[in-house]
Every structure is written in structure tokens, then in C-alpha cells.
Amino acid sequence: MKFEELLPRRELLFGKLVLIYQMPKVGSQTIEATLRQCSVPDQILRFHYLSNAMASNAKGGLDSDVPDKAWKQKARPQLELSEKIARAIRLRKILTRCGFNIPKLQVITGVRELIGLVLASIFENYLYFAPDLESMTVETCRDVLLRPRMFIALRDWFNLELKSFIGIDVYQRAFPREKGFAIYENRFARALVYRFEALPNLPAMLLEFLNLQAPELTNRNVGASKQYGDRYRSVKEQLRLPRDFVTSLYDCQMMRHFYSIEEREHWRAKWSQPVGAPVQTIHPEVIPQS
């Protein structure tokens, strides 16, 4: 389907839009399915990035010799969609500043602990990394996870994406960790920001954010229920990474803002190799998005 068939240009510039705009593997398909069950009158668009920094990972995958044709077929329209939405958002901002009465964008975005997020992405795209599911061993996943460029983009997602394109800086005020979600607003948009762990509470979030009664959560794209579910669970149980590498990830601004010291220490202990384990090489290659 061409972008113009997905959403007319006038509606993209002047219409009421709900943007499910978030990093991969934080429940975007579940949110979209739940919203569509509620017959939301606004147009719903779901995508993971608008910035060049994030798009470069997908472009790198398309230019590579990776044999996963299905991944490439999915990535190309995502890139096209992101580029056109980015242009439309820039135009909406200009029109808003010029005094046009344009509805605020309604943005839904989430956050998840970093290693769990990237491991889920690896399995979602496992043919990008291995010839078959049987090759997705703990060692294979460990090697991929030690390629940190994707972590860099993800840990800076809220600055690269939400702040740059929507103008909302989530770091300007404390996040209510126990509640698990917060609503931010400026003259251009409103944004619901939630923790992945709070996703089961989505109906309450939608009620507060959109005044929408969602009868129940409609789960989609859950890794544990997929064909790779058993191997995914096994790798999660066994995987361990260099302690310094894990510590640096959970000390970044995003993790400190959304998660408590105790939560970050829990994940550091969960994913770290025992003291005295051999140090492994950290590679510079890219990890793709799903």
C-alpha cells in the first residue's frame, strides 16, 4: 500500500492523529490493536523512528547482504512512512506557529530496560543474525548484544526522537515510577509515556489520556508466544554479559530517569557475568530494529 493510500495528505497535515511512536519491542502492536478494538475516530499511525540517527540502522541493513528478504520488505515501507511523517510534522509545526487551528498530535510512547529490549529485537529478526532458529544460541545472542551502536541510539531515543520532533523533553520533570506512566503536553502535542512493565494497565492509561474506555488489553506480537518462544526463554535464562558493559547501559540517562536504583541493580545482577569471568570483545556493528 502506498503512503498516499494510507492517509491523505490533507488529513496528515490538518487531521486528528494518534501516533504510536516508540522504540521497538515495547508493545506498539498491542497498543494499536487495543485502540482499534475501541473504534477510535482519529487516524492511528504506528512507527518506531523519525530521526536520521535511528533510520541509519535500517538503511544499513537494507544495504547489507543479509539474506532475510522478509525483513527488508518490511523495512523499506517503514523508512518511507517515517520520512513522510517527519516532513508532515515539520509542516504542522510551521502551520501551528502561523496561527492555523490544528489539532494537537496525540503521541503514545514507551520505554523498556535496554538488554531485554534488544534481546527481544534480536529474536524478532533472528534470520538477520543466523541462518535458522537452531543457530540462535546463547553465544550467538551474546555476540550480537556486544555490538553497542544500537544501544547508543536506543538509550538516546527520547532526545533523538520525542524531543527533536515533538518538542517534549521527558527529562524536565521526575517520572512517576510507581504509577508507571505520565502525560506531557506542549502547544503542539500531548504525549503518553509509559514503562513497558505497566503495559497491562493500558486501559487505565487510555482512559486518562484519551478519555477512552478500553474493555481489555489486546495482546499482539508477544515474543514468548511465537515460534521462537522456547529458545527465547532459554536464552534469557542463560545469557550473561560483561559486568562493566551492563553497568554502563543501566547508568545512562534514560534508565536512571525511568527506573529506580533498586530496579537497575536487579537487572545489572541478572545480566552480568560472575566476577572473574573472561572479558569479551565488544563489536561496533549495527543491530537492526523490528
Grid coordinates belonging to 173: 520533570
Confidence band of 224 (pLDDT split at 50, 70, 90): low
Confidence band of 282 (pLDDT split at 50, 70, 90): very low
Instruction: State yes or no: pLDDT of 210 exceeds 60.
Output: yes
Write out the H or E segment, with its range, that includes residue 57: helix 52-63
Whole-number pLDDT of residue 4: 44
Please name the amino acid found at residue 286.
V
Whole-number pLDDT of residue 70: 64
- pLDDT tens digits for range 108-118: 999 999 999 99
What is the reported pTM? 0.86
- pLDDT tens digits for range 234-279: 999 999 999 999 999 999 999 999 999 999 999 999 999 987 555 4
Within 134-250, where are the H helices?
138-145, 149-155, 157, 202-210, 229-238, 243-250
Whole-number pLDDT of residue 226: 72
pLDDT above 90 as % of the chain:
64
Give the separation between CA 137 and CA 252, rounded to whole angstroms. Answer: 28
Residue 116: how many other CB atoms lie within 10 Å:
16
Confidence band of 214 (pLDDT split at 50, 70, 90): confident
Handedness of CA 234, 238, 244, 246 (dihedral sign): positive
Whole-number pLDDT of residue 108: 98
Give the separation between CA 66 and CA 44, rounded to whole angstroms. Answer: 32
Mean pLDDT of 57-76: 63
Instruction: State yes or no: pLDDT of 287 exceeds 50.
Output: no
Which residues have CB under 8 Å from 82's CB, separation 6+?
47, 48, 49, 50, 55
Contact between 180 and 195 (Cβ < 8 Å): yes
Instruction: State yes or no: pLDDT of 98 exceeds 90.
Output: yes
- Mean pLDDT check: name the lowest of 11-25, 171-185, 253-267: 11-25
Whole-number pLDDT of residue 1: 38
Instruction: State yes or no: pLDDT of 38 exceeds 90.
Output: no
57 CA to centre of own chain? 14
Give the separation between CA 58 and CA 72, rounded to whole angstroms. Answer: 9
